[in-house]
Amino acid sequence: MRFGRAKNGVRRMLAVGAAALAVSVTGSGVVATAAPIRTPAGGFEELMVPSSMGPIKVQVQWAKRGGGAALYLLDGMAAREDKNAWSFETNALQQFAEDDVTLVMPVGGLSSWYQDWISPSNTNGQKLTYKWETFLTKELPNFLAGYGVSKTNNAVAGLSMSGSAALQLAGYHRDQFKYAASYSGALNISAPGMREAIRVAVLRWGAYNIDAMAPPWSPQWLRMDPFVFAPQLKGLPMYISAGSALPGEFNRPSNVGQVFDTGVGMGIEAVTLLNTRAFQYRLNSLGIPATYSFPPTGTHTWKYWEAELFKSRPGMLAALGVA
């Protein structure tokens, strides 16, 4: 098995290298050209992608038939450094296993909101400055293009922290993203009390200072707020969801700790529901349509987002032309 994996890796390296070095001879000399590369057909891989933040791990499930379409799945506030939670908290890989779309799951970004921060956080000794928007819209798509992944035929989905980021990425990078989905996202972050709530959250997960991300009510902050940049979303297919904050089928606490976690999940979901409903009214006032889902139960937990991903999947595939 190790030898087989090594052979496959060598083949892919040779294919990428051959494409990068391909040349054509013309009357005026030798001119470098970009030979077409097909996305590996099916399978799972972990890539190390260069960035201004250093190498970033990206988990990838390749399109079943080697097509170029891709779905970026963004992680939540507590993003880990070893795996993107979509890959182990949900059945996302199985949901798209037979589809001709590559799943792109960046790893890391704890409390980053997937933003380009203005400076390193001064409350936790951070050495680098988060530059996640740059990574997701420039460095990563440029790298994946070497594997045949399209830079223009992508969808993006996020939950909680990354719900607003998914809409922001699609809203400001329409040439890259054709579809966006937000599950339990903070979609009205300039509402009263929201900045303070986010300040507490980023302190809780990683001891980050929100002021290093964007100064209060600055252009950088307002650029992050879906309620503010909503006009940018006109014409973009979107799926927007939030649970009712009432426990449902995926809440079965069996001890005191789980009861506490359920209560926390109810509280957070109640906030994101208010945010999402406000955002819905904002889009309606602008005459911008979207697909909405407000199930009668659902707290701020992964299994509910797994279910919403499944419901949004047909729209994603249709927008990418791979349905």
Length of the chain: 323
Predicted confidence at residue 12, as pLDDT, reads 47
**pLDDT tens string 113-141:** 999 999 999 999 999 999 999 999 999 99
- Is a pLDDT exceeding 80 seen at residue 24? no
CB of 153 closer than 8 Å to CB of 69: yes
Q: Are 191 and 181 in contact (CB under 8 A)?
A: no
Q: What pTM did the predictor assign?
A: 0.88
- Asked whether the beta carbons of 320 and 284 are under 8 A apart, the reply is no
Lowest mean pLDDT among 25-34, 43-52, 175-184, 254-263: 25-34
Q: Catalytic residue positions? A: 160, 269, 300
Looking at residues 224-232, what average pLDDT do you find?
98
| Beta strands at 23-26 and 29-32: parallel, antiparallel or unpaired | antiparallel
Q: End-to-end distance of the chain based on CA atoms, in angstroms?
A: 34
pLDDT of residue 192: 94
DSSP secondary structure string for all residues of 174-190 = TTTEEEEEEES----TT
Please tell me whether residue 109 adopts helix, strand or coil conformation. coil
- CATH architecture for the domain at 40-319: 3-Layer(aba) Sandwich (3.40)
Cβ neighbours, 10 Å, residue 20: 12
283: Cα within 13 Å, side-chain hemisphere: 23
* Average pLDDT value for residue range 8-35: 38
Average pLDDT of span 84-88: 98
300 and 160 Cβ atoms separated by less than 8 Å = yes
pLDDT of residue 256: 85
Strands 102-106 and 70-73: parallel
**Which pLDDT belongs to residue 191?**
95
pLDDT at 37: 67
Q: Which pLDDT does position 257 carry in this prediction? A: 85
Q: Where are the domains of the chain?
A: 1-37, 40-319
